[in-house]
Each structure stands twice: as structure tokens, then as C-alpha cells.
Structure 1
Amino acid sequence: MPPLTLWLLISAVLAQRQEISLNSIIISNITYNNISPPTFTLPTSDSPINLSVSLCSDQLPSPRFFLNSASTSVPSPDGGDGGIEISLDEGLGTWNGTTPNGGILAVYTGQLSSGVVVPPWTFQLGVSNGDPLHTVLDGLPLLGDTTASQALIFSPSFSSLPISSPSYPNYTLPESNTTMPNAPSNVPNFTLALFPTSSSPPSLAKSACAVLGQQSANENMTTSLAFRGSEGFRTQWLVEDLDNRTNYTAFVVQDGAKVSEAIFLSTKSSSFACPLLHSLPFCPQTAYSVPLQPPKAPFTSYNTTNLDPAISSSFLSSLQNFSTTLSAFPCGRDVYSPLKGCTDCFDTYRTWLCAVAFPQCADPPSNPSTFFSPTPPSESPTPALLAQSSSNRSPILPDLGTSHTILLPCIETCQAVDRSCPPFLGWRCPVMAVNANWSYGLGFIDGIDGSEGQGRISGASGRGVDRWGGMWCSGL
């Protein structure tokens, strides 16, 4: 699809006809007038085109959009002149068809009571000979974690790395102390819109411009590129200066016109002691709060630049020891599974080790109903929480010095190693009949009996976190 070629800001003059060029978006502000409605001319095309309407403001009465695709006669709400209405769904409307003689779109603003004055309506119109320029993104944003005043949020995944399959005799396992791979050349232009859920829940949730209009002005955001292993690349936002114990709604907007569905999150209590840890190349999926002392100023979270080198060295030593042991198997020459190889074994072990070495802190709510957004799943399971004393559960982290609660790792991180590694390693995961629930979160992703994708979180198979801000187990 050709790139967007034009962004115009129009202070629409009533009865003046504006032309919408192909593969462009225009932004229009109109005031109430049903005698001479604003009109917009579509390009002539014998091939199907997509017209999209994105309503940016939700004051009533809502404007109505009527299209005549057969001629340049102005359509009317009474169905005259061959006009059809473009219906809006949560602020977004689309139409697909041909305009062999050109087409015209008219905007009617409804009837107002005498003396009623409303602000101008704002909307966007886009015309494309490819996909609609305004649409809802396929993927959801991803919540890393929150503290009392911070949130770590990721865009939908947009690029993955090709998986290399080394061969014998030059079979080389991945480096333990890896670096972030080179960024792709086609990084989308993502924007995070974050605002308190209680402030004004958007009725125009499928309109990117309406969502961006809800963005709070007081958040301090740091934007960076994150690589999340098998998930590929995502844009990452570290948001500061949030209010504690507050529900927030987050959308991600791409190119100012395409919007994701919402996710919800809740900040922790003011007494929450654990800082965020993120952007570790050797633990790409570690992006949550950990039981560490607060970082020294000017840092407000931990990453590779300020994490104690002794912690990194201890972790990498454990990972390298596993790599050495795994190399005893003739990887690439002998086959122990038709589906898995030594690289899969190493990657799943890394994921498990990261979840165990860097436990995720939790902040159990005093009232579970306040932890979720206004529309949580109807049946919410209890997270896999474990209370800790001042000591640290991780063997490589120093004691936190205060009692805290951790979120246990998802047992699937352990089971993935069992499924991916050669039998000679003797890897075994605990079972429910013994004491698995003391070490892992069970039944949130897969079933307790191991049945794949049969966990208790509706629509969240494969993750220990759902779109409503609920966190059930860690590491996935």
C-alpha cells in the first residue's frame, strides 16, 4: 500500500467542498448546519477503494455521514440522490466500493433544540486503494508490570527474528551473555495513550484520534525498543508519575490512525517496595518488579546499566553451566525429538531460569474488586502468591530487608524445558500430587493436569497476565 501522502488540517467552511486525495487522511472541524452540510469529494476509481471515518469528539448529537458513490450529487438523510449512511461503531466507520464517476460524502449534524450551542465536531476521513487507513490493530498491548507510580507497557509485537538452525559439526548454542539484536528497519510509529479509567471511559474506543484526545498530560514517558525473545520486537514505554492504587486504561495508536483495543492496569499501593527490572538482553522477557533495594538516583528502575554486576555474573554463570552440560549431547548429529533441538532446550531453560532468578513482586489488593478495571472477567482466579520474609527467594539476589509477596512462576516455564530438552539431563517438574503449588502457579495457562491451553483465564491462553490487569503467575 502506498504511504500516506497528505495530512491536512481543515477549518471547514460550510458549503465548501473539500477533495480527499487517494491514500491520504484529512482532519476536519465542522459546526452545526443542516442547510448546507459540509461535503467531501472522493477520487474517481474503477477499482475498489476504502473510505474510513474516525470520529474524534463525542458530543451529542453525533454527526451522520452519507455517501453517494455513483455521482457527485449531494446525498441526504432521507435517502435521496442515492445516498447511503456510513454507520459508526465506537467512532469508526468504513466503506468499500468503486467510484467510477467520483463520489461525494456529506456530513449532517442532527437537530438541536433552540438556543443549544455545541462545540465543533472533529473527525478524520481517509481514502485508500489498499487496507483502510483507519482500523483496529490485530494485536493487544502488553502490560509488563506496575509499581506505585510507574507502569511498563509494550506495543503489539511487530517484527520477529528468523530462527537459525545450526548444524553439525558447527552446532553452536546461543551466547549466555547475549546482546540485543539489531533493530528492524520498519519500526512502526507507535504512540501510547494512557489515562485514568475513571476519568472518561472512551465511548469512541475504535477511533485513534478520540483515544489520543483522552491522553493525560502529566505522565512522564520514556520510549524505547524492546526485544522479547520469541515474541520479537515491541515498542516499550516506562511511564512515571502515576497515582498509586489507581486503575488506568491504555491504548496503542499506530501512525495516528490505527488503534489497538484497550488493556487495563492498576498501580500498586504506596507501600510497595519493589522496583522495576527490564531491558536485560540475557532475560528478554523479564520486565516486572523484583525484590531489590530502590535504585540509586537518577535511576528509577533497573536495567543492564545499573544492575549489580555480581547479580548478572551469577546468573550468567548458571546459564553457562547448563550450556556446557547440554553440549555433552551431540547436538545437530543425533536427534532426540522430531520437533525440538538443543537450541529450543537452551531457550526454554533461559526463560525458566530468568523467572526463578528474578522473582516477580506482587501487591495483594485489600479488596480484589478494586484491583481490576470496571469490566474484569466474570470469574477471576486467585493469583499464585507467596508471602516472603525479609529474605529473598532468589539465590542470586540480596535480601530485600522487608517482608514482601512474590508471584510464583508459571509451571509451564518448567514444563517447556521438560518437553524441549534431551532425556539425559533428567529434567523433572514437580506434580500437583506432591508440592508443585508451593513452587509454581498451576492451571492458569494450561490445565492443572497439563492439558494444553485449558487454563482458567478466559482468552489468555499462553500468558500469566490478562488484558484486565490481572496477573496470575510469572515468567510467561
Structure 2
Amino acid sequence: MQLPKLSPLQSRLLASVIATCLVIIIWISFQPHHFVYAAELPVAPQDVEYSQLGQLIPPDTDSEAILGSEVHGNPEAEREGGYVGDFKYFDRSLIGRAEEGVDTLTNNEAKEMDTTPGTTKYFVLEKSQIQARRRAYQDSSLELRDTVNTSESATEDEDGPHARDLLQSRQGSDQVYITVNTCQQPIPEHIATDDPPQLTLYVSTSANNQKPGPKSKDGVTSITFQHGYGAYNATTTSDVYIGIDAPALTKGWNGSFSFQITASTDAPYDTYDQWDTFLRMVDTDADSSLFVTQDLLSERNDTANITNWMGVTPVPFSMYAFKSTDWGGKGLEWSKCGLQWSLDHALNSTNSTQKITVDTTMTNRSTSLPKGQFHVMGLEKNTSYVGFLAMDGVNGLVPENMTAIRGSRVWNQFNWTTKAESTCQVIFDLPFCKDVAYAVPSSPQFANNTPALKELYDTQAENYYTNFSNSLAQVACDTKGSAQYSLARTCTDCARDYKAWLCSVLMPRCEDFSAEGPGLKDRNIDQPLANGSLPYAYNMTKEFNETTRERFAFQGSRNPLIDSAIQPGPYKELLPCEDLCFDIVRSCPAQLQFKCPARSMRSGSYGKRESGPQGLTCNFPGALVNLNQFQGAAIALPVRLSVSVAISMVVGIVLWI
């Protein structure tokens, strides 16, 4: 039989339907499998509880009333010792204990334990711990009930309905969160070719299986750790039994495990963020690097929280840094205690070359908002490193847009490389130019005397600013509006913008002479390199001499003090952003006669801010460098990209049809 001939419109409709089906199939196929398992635990058979009269105990029955009806109201039961079944309303101290070899967990208290390969450790979180949170809510909800009752006639925009929903959710939810971190793992005898062995978490809610493990069959959930971290959460009203299994070691691995386990009814005690480093690099030189966290707050008028963060002791952040070739903690990237063990092991190893130290402080530089700061020292030039940021929970202090951190949080792994030459040196926390934080031209005489280098630059800038202030003082700033030089800018704006420009041009941002990228300008090319050769010795053409070698801008530094007092040798400068110059022209009085170079000459003195993957294209106060994140941890990213590509292909097919 001949198939019916479709019209063009019908053909397009058929193609669209087929494409839509393909998108659905691709979406289902690429659904990610997360390492955290979340589900509502099935109620164990013994949790379906009946009174001695065979009546189902209502879920909201008070436990004391049940105890009175079951024991005190039954003389025979009292005479025989008052046996009561494993009711969920009774504390375990009244009805029995877990099996031998099962350790009891306390809500929100971490427990650390050693274990040998091929063995399983067992734990239980008793229902009394789980229900304590509910009882606390019930005790504190009487006032909430009164509030709800008195607001029955309130509109839907008021708190009554929301409070009622909150009360109901608190009464009916017993959420349990279990997190486990590997704190120590076996060590390979030689260079390991396979991944480190990982622990496995087993969970059961049946009293018939109080020791869940690899031999358990039904009713047990298992979660294999990833990078030293395992997590599980569910809703339940029964005891939760946990097994932590250490696998037998394969050939080439020696040692034992230790782990830290925590159960919580509030939130995951320890967490891992696989999508962000929460860290930015300020700059690096040949033997140190400077990093800061993202701003911890967003409101500059939140003075109380700003003060608390700036004064917190000890600083709750930790940064772990390792040379890429020495990184021996593979398999522990998501565990804070595992990272600490990796660092201790690297420092104590007999053949270790680990000399890295990290000075951790708080700063509010550039944005006036608090952030953690890390000065990593003891690095080697032209060397790649791997780093991790972690944070311990601080009561009352929570970074904005984050949930409270009770235990620890670890962020995504990142990599960076130090500079290859010693002509640049990182400076920060200057007394006058407070926003300056990057590598500036330096030389061996200041290699071990950073304070002297900072004072040299900062004193010069302050002296220049004093002269400017004397000139600005001649302008009638505090006068009536009709007499002011501008209704859009004030002398305060002028002083601020001049200071930002001044510090940026007197302290150029320094890069290796071998560096490549937009916005870089050669400096001091008539000075010898570290190996004694002259830059561009291979190019002695007349054209190059006239356009580069003989040009004053390439022969020396922007700031004459650098060549006379510091003598750094050849380097490249990341030019300051041109908008710094535009700002002082806009903000300052015309009688100060500030002007920016014409467009044809501007590219030799200033760079342009441009967004893109190329990194910084010019220097400005507060400039930061995005870190190269460890791509192996972002397990869901390829899935999302695949779905996006598939959808784009389908749309393209439909449009083409």
C-alpha cells in the first residue's frame, strides 16, 4: 500500500514530534547520579505499633499517656516487670540497647574512629535523638499556635497561614542527615596507577539488621564514598543503623583508614561544594601567591556583621596548598580532615619537599566588605600547585547566600602556576594605597625585605597625594550649589578617583617578561635578562630599533623611581585601565587641568577592560584572577552541556525543515 503523501506543514510537524521525543530520551539517559542518597526510609515492620488492646496508636498520642495505659493501667504488666514493645514513643533507655559492637551517635557530635581494611564499624542514631528536635519544636510552638489562632481572620499576605504551614511541617518531619569523611587512607607503595580505595556507607532502619554491611541483603542502602566523602539523608521515625565498611586492599597499597562520622537532625554536618572554589587569586610572584575569598556580605551598612567578621578569632577559613607533583592526597579532595592529614603526611615524610606556609587573615580591601585572605609562601618559581579552600562553622557567622555551616565545608579543587622570573614581587596591605594588592617590579635586594619595598612605593604615592591635596584645597568645595564646579561630582569624588589612579600608575602591575597576553607592555628592554642576554637580541633590524628598542617607553619604567631605586631588569607591565584616567577627568575641577591621552596615544599608556576568557586585560584596584578549577569534580557539568547541545541540534533541525 502506498504511504500517504504529506504536505510541507505536516512534514514539519512530524519532524518536530520526532525531535521532541529524541530530546526526552536524551534527557532521561543523561540524568546524573549524585553521591548523596536522599529518600524516605520505609517503616520497619516493628514500627507499626499496637497497644495491648490491639488498637493502632495514633501518631500524635502523648508518650506519657501511652506509658500509663500500657503499664501503669495494667496490673499484670506491672507485676511482670512492665514489658513494653519497641514503641517509637519510648526512649531506648527504657526499652533496651543496640547490639554489642554498635556505637551510639549523638546528634551534631562528630565521632572519629580508626578501622583496618576488610572490617566494618557499626553505629546507631537512636529515635530519642531523632525526636528530640521535634519535641523542642513542640515545646516552643505553643506561642506559635496562639499566634496562628489569633490571626485566623488575617489576609493571606499575613503570617497566619505561613505560620500554620511551618508548624505542621515541624510536627511531622523527622529528618536525619549522615555525613562521613575519610581522615586517613592507605598509602601506595609506589606511584599508584589505580584510584585509592574508598569506604562504603550502609544504612538500615530495621532492628533485625542492626549491623548493615556488605553482606546485608534487603532493606539496606549503600553509598560508596567519593573523594573521601559520603552523605545520606532521609525522613524516618525509627532508629537508624549505620555501617562503615573498609575494603580489603589490593596489591600496592599499605596502611589503614580513619574516618569521622556525624549524624544531625538539622542539616548535613559536613558539606562539599563541587561547583565553585569560593576563592579568587589576587596575584602571584616566583615564590608566593595571594588569594582572597568572595565577599562574605553584600551590604556595606551592615556594620555589626562586618565588625564581627573582621574580628573573628581564629579565622574560620583554611587553605591547603601542595605542589602538583607532590600531591599525595588523591581520594581525599572532599574531606577537610583528609586534607589536613595529607598536609601533615607531606610535612612529616622523610623525602618531602613541602615547605609551603599559609598566612591566613581577614581583609575588607577594595570593597569594604569582609573576606578571607591567604598569603601562600615557600613556593618555587614556574611551578604548578593544587589548592583547596575549607571552612569551619562559626556560631552566628554565616557567609551570605549560604546555609549555616555546622561542621566543615570544602570547596572545589583549583590549580595555579607561579611566575617564572624574580623581577616581580607581591605586595599588599599598604598603609596609604590600601587597595593595592598585586605583584610590582622588584629585584633581588628586596626578595627578603618586602616591608622595605612596600614603604618605598607607598611613601612616594603619599607624597604625591599631599601635593595634590594642597591644590584641591584651593577649590571651593563646600559652597552653595550654584557655586560648585559640578552638580554631579564633589571634591570627595575627585580625591578618591585621583588616589586610585595615582596608586595604579606609580605601582605598575608586573608580569614576567616572557608572559603573553593583552594589555602587556615591555619595560626596561635595554637591561639584561637573568641569563645575561639582552631582550630581542635576535632582532636588530632598523625598523625594530626605531619603533621599540630606541623608544623611551620601552627603555625604562613608567615610574622613574623603579629604575633608580629598585632596578628590576626587563619585565612586562599590565597597563592600568583607561577608565581610571576618565574618572579623574570627570570628577575633578577643570582648573586642575587633568587630561587623558588622545585615542591614538592612549594604547601606549592605558588598557581597556574587556570581558572574556583571556583574563585581565588591564589593572584596576581590586582586580582578581579567576582560578582554573579542577574539572574532574564537576561531574554534572558534562551532562548539562550534552542536554543543551542536544536541544540546540533539535532546534536547528526544525528550523532547517
| Counterpart for residue 288 of structure 1 | 438
Question: Would you say 1:162 and 2:248 are equivalent positions?
Answer: no
> How does the TM-score come out when normalised to structure 2?
0.52
Structure 1's 423 and 257: CA in aligned 2 closer, same or farther, altered over 3 A? same
- CA deviations 1:287-324 (Å, max 9, x no partner) are 222124556697345576x4467414324326636865
| Counterpart for residue 247 of structure 2 | 110
| Counterpart for residue 41 of structure 1 | 125
Match of 1:386 among 495, 510, 521: 521
Structure 1's 308 and 281: CA in aligned 2 closer, same or farther, altered over 3 A? closer
Give the alignment's Cα RMSD to 1 decimal.
Answer: 4.4
Question: Would you say 1:29 and 2:130 are equivalent positions?
Answer: no
Structure 1's 345 and 89: CA in aligned 2 closer, same or farther, altered over 3 A? farther
| Counterpart for residue 233 of structure 1 | 370
Q: CA deviation at 1:27?
A: 2.2
| Counterpart for residue 212 of structure 1 | 340
Give the Cα–Cα distance (whole angstroms) in 2 for the partners of residues 51 and 420 of structure 1: 58
Q: CA deviation at 1:406?
A: 3.2
- CA deviations 1:383-407 (Å, max 9, x no partner) are 4321111633126656333432233
Partner AA of 2:626 in structure 1:
D
SS of the equivalent of 1:414 reads helix
Q: CA deviation at 1:467?
A: 0.4
SS of the equivalent of 2:628 reads coil
Structure 1's 358 and 49: CA in aligned 2 closer, same or farther, altered over 3 A? farther
| Counterpart for residue 429 of structure 2 | 279
Give the Cα–Cα distance (whole angstroms) in 2 for the partners of residues 353 and 93 of structure 1: 52
Structure 1's 456 and 441: CA in aligned 2 closer, same or farther, altered over 3 A? farther
Q: CA deviation at 1:106?
A: 0.6
Match of 1:356 among 495, 501, 505: 505
Match of 2:181 among 30, 54, 62: 54
SS of the equivalent of 2:332 reads coil
SS of the equivalent of 1:230 reads coil
| Counterpart for residue 371 of structure 1 | none
Structure 1's 159 and 84: CA in aligned 2 closer, same or farther, altered over 3 A? same
Partner AA of 1:277 in structure 2:
I
Structure 1's 111 and 265: CA in aligned 2 closer, same or farther, altered over 3 A? closer
Structure 1's 286 and 294: CA in aligned 2 closer, same or farther, altered over 3 A? farther
| Counterpart for residue 262 of structure 1 | 413
Structure 1's 428 and 183: CA in aligned 2 closer, same or farther, altered over 3 A? farther
Question: Would you say 1:194 and 2:321 are equivalent positions?
Answer: yes
SS of the equivalent of 1:355 reads helix
Give the Cα–Cα distance (whole angstroms) in 2 for the partners of residues 27 and 406 of structure 1: 51
Question: Would the aligned equivalents of 2:513 and 2:572 in 1 still touch at CA under 8 Å?
Answer: no
SS of the equivalent of 2:362 reads strand
Question: Would the aligned equivalents of 1:315 and 1:357 in 2 still touch at CA under 8 Å?
Answer: no
| Counterpart for residue 288 of structure 2 | 150
Give the Cα–Cα distance (whole angstroms) in 1 for the partners of residues 374 and 435 of structure 2: 15
| Counterpart for residue 229 of structure 2 | 92
SS of the equivalent of 1:209 reads helix
Question: Would you say 1:299 and 2:384 are equivalent positions?
Answer: no
Q: CA deviation at 1:358?
A: 0.9
Structure 1's 227 and 112: CA in aligned 2 closer, same or farther, altered over 3 A? closer
Give the Cα–Cα distance (whole angstroms) in 2 for the partners of residues 327 and 95 of structure 1: 67
Give the Cα–Cα distance (whole angstroms) in 1 for the partners of residues 431 and 299 of structure 2: 14
| Counterpart for residue 405 of structure 1 | 571
Partner AA of 1:18 in structure 2:
D
| Counterpart for residue 123 of structure 1 | 259
> How does the TM-score come out when normalised to structure 1?
0.70
Question: Would the aligned equivalents of 1:341 and 1:420 in 2 still touch at CA under 8 Å?
Answer: no
Out of 155-164 and 82-91, give the one that drifted further.
Answer: 155-164
Question: Would the aligned equivalents of 1:15 and 1:39 in 2 still touch at CA under 8 Å?
Answer: no
Question: Would you say 1:19 and 2:114 are equivalent positions?
Answer: no
Give the Cα–Cα distance (whole angstroms) in 1 for the partners of residues 487 and 267 of structure 2: 45
Q: CA deviation at 1:464?
A: 5.1
Question: Would the aligned equivalents of 2:422 and 2:444 in 1 still touch at CA under 8 Å?
Answer: no
Q: CA deviation at 1:107?
A: 1.3
| Counterpart for residue 628 of structure 2 | 468
Partner AA of 1:385 in structure 2:
L
Structure 1's 247 and 239: CA in aligned 2 closer, same or farther, altered over 3 A? same
Question: Would the aligned equivalents of 1:331 and 1:341 in 2 still touch at CA under 8 Å?
Answer: no
Question: Would you say 1:314 and 2:451 are equivalent positions?
Answer: no
Structure 1's 346 and 222: CA in aligned 2 closer, same or farther, altered over 3 A? same
Question: Would the aligned equivalents of 1:160 and 1:230 in 2 still touch at CA under 8 Å?
Answer: no
Q: CA deviation at 1:356?
A: 1.7
Partner AA of 2:325 in structure 1:
S
Relative to its length, the structure with more strand (as a share) is 1
Question: Would the aligned equivalents of 2:283 and 2:290 in 1 still touch at CA under 8 Å?
Answer: yes
- CA deviations 1:58-109 (Å, max 9, x no partner) are 5543211112256673334466352222353433333233342231211123
Q: CA deviation at 1:330?
A: 6.6
The total of aligned residue pairs comes to: 412
Q: CA deviation at 1:246?
A: 1.1
SS of the equivalent of 2:290 reads strand
Question: Would the aligned equivalents of 1:311 and 1:397 in 2 still touch at CA under 8 Å?
Answer: no
Q: CA deviation at 1:459?
A: 12
Larger Cα Rg: Structure 1 or Structure 2? Answer: 2
Structure 1's 134 and 458: CA in aligned 2 closer, same or farther, altered over 3 A? farther
| Counterpart for residue 439 of structure 1 | 605
Structure 1's 105 and 417: CA in aligned 2 closer, same or farther, altered over 3 A? farther
Q: CA deviation at 1:263?
A: 3.3
- CA deviations 1:328-368 (Å, max 9, x no partner) are 3879999956xx98766655554343222211211144xx7
Partner AA of 1:357 in structure 2:
L
Structure 1's 434 and 79: CA in aligned 2 closer, same or farther, altered over 3 A? farther
Give the Cα–Cα distance (whole angstroms) in 1 for the partners of residues 523 and 617 of structure 2: 28
Give the Cα–Cα distance (whole angstroms) in 1 for the partners of residues 615 and 457 of structure 2: 39
Question: Would the aligned equivalents of 1:55 and 1:209 in 2 still touch at CA under 8 Å?
Answer: yes
SS of the equivalent of 1:24 reads coil
